[in-house]
Amino acid sequence: MRRVSVVGGSCSGKTTFARDLAEILRVSFIELDALNWQANWTMTDIETFQADVRKATSGDGWVVDGNYGGRGARDIVWSRADTVVWLDLSLPLTLMRMWRRTTGRIKRRVPLWGGNRETIRNTFLSRESLFVWAVKTHWRRRRILRAAMARPDLAHLRFHRLRSPAEVRRWLDAQR
C-alpha cells in the first residue's frame, strides 16, 4: 500500500485520517480541497485542477484526501492508486461533526484553502450550504462507491469500507 485514495462524505474525517495514514506510510499527503479552492470560494479551472492532481499523484507514494468525482479527480487518482479507503460514517454523525467543526471555525475565524473562511451566511443561509451539500450527496455517494467496488476496471484497487469511528481507529492502528 503506497498510493491511497481516502474518500467519504463531508466531515467523515478524511483529512485527519489521510494525514495520519500518510505519516504512517511516510508518503506525501495531498488534499484535493487545497488544489480546488482559490480566494473567494472560486474553483480552480478544471484543466488546471486536473493537471495539478496528475502532478501531485505522479510519485510512487501518496495519500489523497477527497472525492471530486465530478471534476475528474477520482478517475485520475484511482487509475494510479493501489488502495481506496472509504470512510462510510452515518449521516447523523457526520452532520454532528460538521456542526462542531464549522461553528468552531466560524468563531475562531480559521482561514481555509485560498484564504477563505466559513461564515454564518455561507454555511447556514446559502443555497450552497455545506449542510445542504452533505445531505444531498450522502446517499448518492454511497451508491457510487458501492458500485465502484464491483467494477471490473477497478479490480486493481483494494477497497476498505470503514463504517464507524472505532473501525476507522482500529484500521489505522493496524497500519502502524
Cβ pair 40, 116 in contact under 8 A? yes
- By the 8 A CB rule, do 95 and 139 touch? no
pTM listed for this prediction? 0.94
- Amino acid found at 102: T
Confidence band for 40, pLDDT divided at 50, 70 and 90 = very high
Q: Which helix (H) or strand (E) holds 76?
A: helix 73-80
pLDDT in tens, 90-132: 999 999 999 999 999 999 999 999 999 999 888 887 877 889 8
Residue 169 has pLDDT above 90, yes or no: yes
Distance of alpha carbon 136 from alpha carbon 78, whole angstroms: 24
Compute φ and ψ for 66, nearest 5 degrees.
135, 165
